[in-house]
Amino acid sequence: MPGHGNHRVRALPSPVPAIALWWCALDASAGERAEDAALLADAEHARAARFGRPELRDRYVTGRALLRRLLGAALGCPPAAVPIVRGTRGRPRIDAPGAPDFNVTHTRERSLVAIGLGARLGVDLEHRERPADSTRLARKFLSSDEQRALHAYAPALRHERFLRWWTCKEAMSKATGDGLAAPFGALTVELEPRFALRDGPAPYVPDAWQLWPVAVPDDYLGTLALWLDATPPAA
């Protein structure tokens, strides 16, 4: 993919050649923030203005601007001109024939962006120290097979394993656009020895999906989901 020309963005190794993965730092100087803001569309400024906390607003502005730079480099157009629209259930996509698909996830001051052709993409990023009641959430979001597998891990490993399942399911829900409406508890993902969807209701059927752990820096866990059956970035 062509250069994005920004020191706050770095390429991560991608398990799939047609898909580029980018790691973005969302902290910025005042000067950088002003340059970032200049790239946003009116609707993005309106969204930024709705964030109650200044740090969340600033991260959104920088995240969007870095995303626009990456997509602009991929499309060969100025960042501010990238036609980002909201599709099904708010899933963002590029409104241009033959455009690549993309997806973004952010946690704390970092974001992970996937851009590529050949599949609908979903990414999810969590911080390993994310406070979460894994046991309670596992009952809600993990299938019974996954809950059994979770409890077979040593207690010290369970939180990290739970977060890995979480990122798999979130990434799939973001590839389809289902988000919160995805049938999380009905999906069974195998973490070992294969890293793959094992069972689920359509469209979450194993043959249609690939899951990949993303090599993000140590304190984070990232997962990329590829929905291979999808009509490329449809509404």
Nearest residue (CB) to ligand COA, 66 versus 73: 66
| DSSP code of residue 99 | P
| DSSP code of residue 185 | G
**Minimal CA–CA distance to 186: which of 210, 174, 202?**
202
CA distance 121 to 103: 6
Cβ neighbors of 18 (< 8 A, separation 6 or more) are 116, 117, 118
Binding segment (CB under 6 A) for ligand COA, from list 70-78, 128-136, 147-155, 165-173: 165-173
Smallest distance from ligand COA to CB 142, Å? 7
| List 19, 61, 82, 166, residue binding ligand COA (CB under 6 A) | 166
CB atoms within 10 A of CB 225: 29
Nearest residue (CB) to ligand COA, 17 versus 95: 95
Q: Rule CB under 6 A: is residue 203 a binding residue for ligand COA?
A: no
| Largest Cα span, the chain | 51
Q: Rule CB under 6 A: is residue 106 a binding residue for ligand COA?
A: yes
Cβ neighbors of 90 (< 8 A, separation 6 or more) are 177, 179
Nearest residue (CB) to ligand COA, 40 versus 73: 40
Query: Which residue(s) pair with 211 in the sheet?
Result: 225
Q: Rule CB under 6 A: is residue 90 a binding residue for ligand COA?
A: yes
Q: Rule CB under 6 A: is residue 188 a binding residue for ligand COA?
A: no
- Chain residues 125-144 in contact with ligand COA, contact rule CB under 6 A: 141
Burial of 195: CB neighbours in 10 Å, binned 0-12, 13-18, 19+: middle
Binding segment (CB under 6 A) for ligand COA, from list 15-23, 25-33, 170-178, 215-223: 170-178
Nearest residue (CB) to ligand COA, 4 versus 222: 222
| Backbone dihedral angles phi then psi of residue 149, each to the nearest 5 degrees | -65, -40
Q: Rule CB under 6 A: is residue 164 a binding residue for ligand COA?
A: no
Q: Rule CB under 6 A: is residue 92 a binding residue for ligand COA?
A: yes
Smallest distance from ligand COA to CB 149, Å? 14
Q: Rule CB under 6 A: is residue 226 a binding residue for ligand COA?
A: no
CA distance 208 to 202: 9
Residue numbers of the site for ligand COA (CB under 6 A)? 60, 63, 89-92, 103-106, 124, 141, 166, 169-170, 173-174, 177, 179-180, 184
